[in-house]
Amino acid sequence: MNFFIAPVEFSNVSVLHSIVKNISGIFKDKVSVISLPVNTAAAFSRDRGQYFSTQLIADAIKLTSKYDGKVLMLVEFDLFVPVFTYVFGEAQLNGKHSIVSVCRLHEEFYSGKTNDKLFIDRTIKEILHELGHNMGLIHCRSWDCVMHSSQGVEEIDIKGQFYCPDCMEILSDNGFKDSFAAHPAD
């Protein structure tokens, strides 16, 4: 299975390269960067000053039939779904499409200080989390698991960097046993 990362209005090329390098080291399958002309304006809520992630995924679905694999959009703007103030990302459970926003993953968003390593670590965790949903995983109770739900950035920092043994077993049962090249901490 292939993995496609689609930067949508994503301006930081060095961050994109770092993310692709990290994700490529985790998965055996090819990780490619693709361009998706998603209509972000249609997903923007003037009332909230944020973008509706479900609408962005719906738009991406129309544009990705030629891609055989998982498609993850990477954005720099803030995302929401109506029942939450914000979301770090969203994914189709057992589906093809997901989205991750790095907007609230920057440490300077909270402390005013830059921490590139922490930013990349948070981003990789959220990408693995959303791809986990694409591969059939639901939220996990284990804090050692990247599939643990995160209500705030502090919870992203606390949770594990990879799938726990129980989630790996589910991934194996779902046909993804041989998809991984390495554990991120290796």
Give the catalytic positions in this structure.
Answer: 130
DSSP string, 39-55: -HHHHEETTTTEEEHHH
Residue 165 has a CB neighbour count (10 Å cut-off) of 9
- Of 54, 108, 105, nearest to 84 (Cα)? 54
- Of 155, 3, 11, nearest to 69 (Cα)? 3
- Of 8, 78, 4, 79, nearest to 38 (Cα)? 8
